[in-house]
Amino acid sequence: MTATSVRTERDEHVYRHFYRIPRMGVVGLTGHGGPFGFDIGAALAADRLLTAYRCDALVETGCYLGDTTHYLAAAYPGRPLVGCDIVRAHVDFVRHRLRDHQDVEVHHGSSPTVVARVAARHARPFFYLDAHSEESWPLIEELKAIERGVVCIDDFNIGHPRFAYDTWRGVACGPQLLSRVGDRVGEYWILDPEADLPFPCLQTGRRGGKAWLVMGLDTAPMEECPWFLRRRVPERG
């Protein structure tokens, strides 16, 4: 067992909560739902960053039926958690699902507005950006609203055949898209597909790629974690 595969108490904490969350997203998602698309590697990576950066709030855009929202509420009680979705029925469902979690807010409406509000109130939030539909894709506006924080972009093209990514109107969710945000995003990280993680990923269906960003904060904690690979944002062509 290598140094990176040694299971810490934090890793065990992630495991205990991750596999207790009902996968309600099975009704409509190609990957059959679950926290972070049922990718425990993403949950482990998020926990490392949440701990290292002492993130003081959690945000999820595009919460759908609340699998990831439920996981975050269970794993990080007492920390403000804000979710949002543009579909009223989804918002009503998640509010009911998490009605016993006092630190959770779920909003109906514009995700960039929610992101901006949380960014203004907290010093170093964690943002899980997963809001997209056939009608809109607010990722660029969300990123422009963030001055400081740790960001995970779901369904991102990491350049690996095992990991899927989304497109919208012919534009891939990938490195070229980040070049539209401006000078504040010059680099990003991906979770190394070959990283020796403490637990294996049991997602055998659609496994979405993810980009990890550090905005307005020291990148040292990210660079010190051996699970991540650094990538440069290409110049806008």
Q: What's the average model confidence in pLDDT over 45-62?
A: 98
Quick: pLDDT tens for 132-151. Answer: 876 778 999 999 999 999 99
Phi, psi of 108, deg, nearest 5: -100, 120
Name the residue among 233, 209, 225 with its Cα closest to residue 10.
225
pTM of the entire predicted model = 0.95
Which band of pLDDT confidence, cut at 50, 70 and 90, is reported for residue 1?
very low
Enumerate the H helices of 7-154 as residue ranges: 9-18, 40-52, 67-75, 88-97, 111-121, 139-144
What mean pLDDT do residues 211-226 have? 96
Q: Cα(first)–Cα(last) distance of the chain, in Å?
A: 45
* pLDDT tier at 4, thresholds 50, 70, 90: very low
CB atoms within 10 A of CB 33: 21
